[in-house]
Amino acid sequence: MTSSVSVRVRRVRAHPEPLALPRYETELAAGMDLRADIDGELTLGPLERVAVPTGLALALPAGYEAQLRPRSGLALKHGITLLNSPGTVDADYRGEVKVLLVNLSSQPFTLRRGERIAQLVVAPVSQVSLVELTVLDDTERGEGGFGSTGR
């Protein structure tokens, strides 16, 4: 069962041919595709990174975040992914959403206006209160991390 939440969106710049707003491409998709709001083309060399504008600013409701995630096809076919994945857009941020892309391949990759570059997933978040202690309760795992439960 899915819930419906309204997110207000503003285009941050005028363009003679505005890009389509993000939308779910299939009925049960978790994320909406964000598009590159660039003029012409942008080439990322091997290991190069760039903040790609989407042309959109969001007004998320309190208690929600927008997560920016890589697109699997770009990652598999071209080695293009997000450096801070998932990136977080906080509910109080009103600036343009930009996607921090990196080219992990050995070949240049050319991005064109309107190409889908990332997924946007809107999700609820919790704010917690931290309680400082000198000792934490024991668990079976304990302090084991980074591979401690096997390969």
Residues making up the annotated binding site are 71-73, 84, 88-90
Place of tokens 């503003």: 10
Q: Amino acid identity of 25?
A: E
Alpha-helical regions (H) of 69-115:
72-78
Q: Which of 102, 114, 118 is nearest to 46 (CA)?
A: 102
Q: Residues forming the annotated binding site for substrate?
A: 71-73, 84, 88-90
Cα separation values, 29 from 6, 65, 88, 92, 132, Å: 17, 17, 19, 25, 40
Residue 151 has, within 13 A of its CA and on its CB side, a CA count of: 0
